[in-house]
Amino acid sequence: MGEITKIAVAPPIQVGGSLFTPEQLATIGAILGMNAKIEMTSFKQLYLEVPLEQREVIVEQLERTGLEVYPAGFVTKSLIACNFCKGAEEAGLAVAQKLNQSIAGIETPMPLKIGYAGCALGTSEPLLKDISVVKMRNTYEVFVGGEPKGLKISIAQSLRSGLSEDQLIPVILSLINYYKANAKGKEKFRKFIDRMTIELLQQVVAV
């Protein structure tokens, strides 16, 4: 057998949450065959192992069914969004989709989980993500430094509030870029936040 590579697959950001269609699941099964291992990750992506030389063809087949395909490993994961139960407009679906397109798959020192909640009820647990966005009526608040793993979990702290739609993506991108440029080796995002301090990061992302 030739070289194997891993790809990450997710349904689009949509009202209803992480919904797969029967066609999408059937396509994944047909592509991978009976003996494949399909991993359900904690960040709402399926990890599939595919032959490297067939990667492009497989990605096309998956995308034709409406699935989105991302790199696996040390990258920003696709946006971990809520179910938009308050409706597409009120919960900011279009903004979340745009944010996902801007951030998913960027190479980073350690994998980054970025969350989105369409209201302050935050049922998608935004404060347990590395970076998260919570829609507050007509503006957005950004939190950083959530860490759900281990015995010393930490809750994300507010970095910026009152952001407009136009300010939101530049703030998140400058935060990711600053982490990429200044992390010490494979420094975890949570530790990076502690070392840099919230005050300094607020200046970095000032828009």
Task: Outline where 113-164 has alpha helix (H).
Answer: none
Contact between 161 and ligand SF4 per CB under 6 A: no
- Structure-token match 């059937």, residue found: 26
Minimum Å gap between C-beta 56 and ligand SF4 is 35
Binding characters for ligand SF4, 116-145, by CB under 6 A (x = yes): -xxx-xxxx---------------------
Output 91 or 183, the one with its CB closest to ligand SF4: 91
Residue from 72, 75, 91, 96 binding ligand SF4 (CB under 6 A): 91
Size of the site for ligand SF4 (CB under 6 A): 13
Decide whether 5 or 83 has the Cβ nearer to ligand SF4.
83
CB-based contacts of 144, cutoff 8 Å, min separation 6: 130, 131, 132, 156, 157, 159, 175, 189, 193, 198, 201
Q: Which positions from 51 through 90 interact with ligand SF4, judged by CB under 6 A? A: 82-86
Strands 4-10 and 46-51: antiparallel
* Residue 68 CB neighbour total at 10 angstroms: 19
Q: CA-CA distance, 107 to 180, in Å (whole number)?
A: 8
Provide the binding-site residues for ligand SF4, judged by CB under 6 A: 82-86, 91, 117-119, 121-124
